[in-house]
Amino acid sequence: MQKFLVRLLTFCVLLAASLWITSLALEPTPFDGGVKPDTAPGGGALVQVYGADVVGLRGHFAIHTWVATRARGADEFRIYEVIGWRLRRGRPAVRISEGDPDRNWFGSPAVLLQEVRGAAAEPLIGRIEAAVASYPFPNEYRMWPGPNSNSFTEWIALEVPELGLDLPAKAIGQSWMRSEYPDIRPGGGT
């Protein structure tokens, strides 16, 4: 019995260490070295993509992502994201709001994943709005394999390839869009 307990304890320690190392390897690399992004009102056009760990233990392995845009001279950011629990309240999963783009996600700090500024960002804003409007799953959400918040952000990345977005491995569901719908072409839908 003692040998069994030692083996079980060893297994548990190795499993915990493996999971911890895996979660560290999955951490997204912040855009621009993690420098605090420009979110001051009234500046130039800006497109930003953020991610933050999801709630609970899953946060070691998964993030929630969203896209924020600010038109040149605007005071507010427009934030685009998919939130699954909105469906239980009879609302679409796609949420468009205004506010602080680098806010915490249920206590997890936001990480800037991508940013496009100024003249390069201006034409992307309208294309992002069009991609959000054409998202094929506004009333569906499945944590695994998708469609979820990361599938939504990947849809925007496919529709607006000039954004140059490459979601991190921790963005579970990002590949669902391409694997489930292989006819989707970057920048041109199907």
Q: Name which residue leads in pLDDT, 25 or 181.
A: 181
Kindly state the percentage of the chain with pLDDT values over 70: 73
> Best-predicted range by mean pLDDT among 2-16, 25-39, 60-74, 120-134?
120-134
What digits encode the pLDDT tens for the residues 131-162? 999 999 999 999 888 899 999 999 999 999 99
Q: Specify the pLDDT at position 34.
A: 44
User: Are 31 and 115 in contact, with CB atoms under 8 Å apart?
Assistant: yes
What digits encode the pLDDT tens for the residues 87-120? 899 999 999 999 999 988 888 899 999 999 999 9
Q: What is the mean pLDDT of the chain?
A: 82
pTM: 0.80
